[in-house]
Amino acid sequence: MSDLEDFLAHTLQRHALATTGVRNGDARLLIEMLSTRDPVTLFPAAQPPKRGWAEVSQAFQRVASLYSNSTPVTFDLVAAGVSGDLAYVVGYERGSASVGGGPVEPVDLRVTQVYRRENDEWKLVHRHGDPGHGGNPAVDHLRAEMRNRPGDAVPT
């Protein structure tokens, strides 16, 4: 099995389970995938950018607190690569969830993630997610919910 095949076999399934967890209110699995070594960064769909393990893990917990009733999230891979101890995936997260207790609705994001091999395990070091061209009503609801809760400012 090539490095890329090995990376994808282990990482995409973990990613889908972790993201499904977030969309069911539990960020634990995604935080476990996160590197504790800097640099660690996040460009989220509904929060300002974050830097460092503490900020990124808190952002994951904050967004998870607004989600519930998720369908299993799938990841449609567009591109991926491995070079030494760095790897990336680009694709689409697809699934449905309730945001802020509202109706279950599609939450589809364009996602780019970068991983670093640490102690023979791929750890997430950067995530960028956004709804893409045309937006997504669920992401709009998420942004509105985050503006209404204590915490940092949310871009409009």
Cα 24–101–105 angle (5° rounding)?
70
Structural domain contains residue 29: yes
More confident residue, 149 or 48: 48
For residue 85, how many other CB atoms are within 10 A of its CB?
A: 10
Structural domain contains residue 11: yes
CA 98 to chain centre: 16
**65-77 as b/e: b if 16+ CB within 10 A:** bbbbebeebebee
Structural domain contains residue 9: yes
Nearest to 59 by CA among 74, 43, 36: 43
Here the CATH number for the domain that contains residue 40 is 3.10.450.50
Q: Residues 21-26: what's their mean pLDDT? A: 98
Q: Give residue-wise pLDDT tens across range 68-95.
A: 999 999 999 999 999 999 999 999 999 9
Structural domain contains residue 76: yes
What pLDDT is recorded for position 38?
96
Q: Give the whole-angstrom CA distance, residue 111 versus residue 122.
A: 17
What pLDDT is recorded for position 134?
79
Structural domain contains residue 154: no
Q: Is the pTM of this model over 0.85?
A: yes
What pLDDT is recorded for position 155?
44
Structural domain contains residue 43: yes
Nearest to 125 by CA among 67, 22, 41, 49: 41
What pLDDT is recorded for position 147?
79
Which tokens is 150 given? 């204590």
Domain total of the chain: 1
**Structural domain containing residue 39:** 3-147
Structural domain contains residue 51: yes
Instruction: Specify whether the CB–CB gap between 100 and 132 falls below 8 A.
Output: no
Q: Residues 101-106: what's their mean pLDDT? A: 94
Q: Which of 69-73, 106-110, 140-144 has the lowest mean pLDDT?
A: 140-144
Q: Residues 36-62: what's their mean pLDDT? A: 95
Provide CB contacts within 8 A for 5, sequence distance 6+.
none
